[in-house]
Structure 1
């Protein structure tokens, strides 16, 4: 039985690269009816780290899907080829910029205004980075992937960019 590879990341993340031939059904738009055409096939789920794929797997099993597995290599484990259009910033690059700007603004704000609020924000960001590392889950990165300029770029053509194992 042929395995259907379904990438549950956002459309924008999917355009940055996925398994060749993968189908994009974002976890944030989950509906069992989207998976219905694949009910009689083996389904291999993939996302960035495996967390979203694991949640979708659980929901599909709750809806009677029996042939659902997680792909052995999630996207984080695969070496990315560069994005064909180098003017398009990846979600990870946008995340690093946002985090750097946030830390820089509040660090400078702390030196200028000596505001305890600046220290609180820095501690929240610090805690968020520790949480992200421990749980292998980053909500700020997922939020950035859902921003309008990242969603709309995937609207016409969802052909994945090939990446190598």
Structure 2
């Protein structure tokens, strides 16, 4: 795999954990001021573990950024049509921005293609689980007990005052 500091020149944005198969995929990315885009640059979908830029599954040519080179970061997007996308195969993929010389200038976090049913079962796996110590549980119970005791004492004092006033 061609690993270098050039990977940070293109940053992929809002990449979900999974995409729905048979639906076009929009890939958003930001070109940093460190990259000079070229009409021969492209964004590809690679199976995770790729070792060469020729290992792409599919790719899309990027639209050139006319007159924006070397300025502020620029947000761009490409759309992958359904026909060329990987099928629902439980493999993980990532987007890579490859420049005209064949260097990878950015890589996304991994994603896969899953049906909506598979995606909904994944959301169950993403539920929050909090692990705490018994000491913390005991401390919280003591604090709750102290608060309840304080409230009860206050109520008792009010009742005693009311009883004295009525008697």
Task: Give TM class, smaller chain.
Answer: under 0.3
Larger Rg: 2
More strand by share: 2
Q: Which has the higher contact order (CA 8 A, sep 6+)?
A: 1
- TM (normalized to structure 2)? 0.21
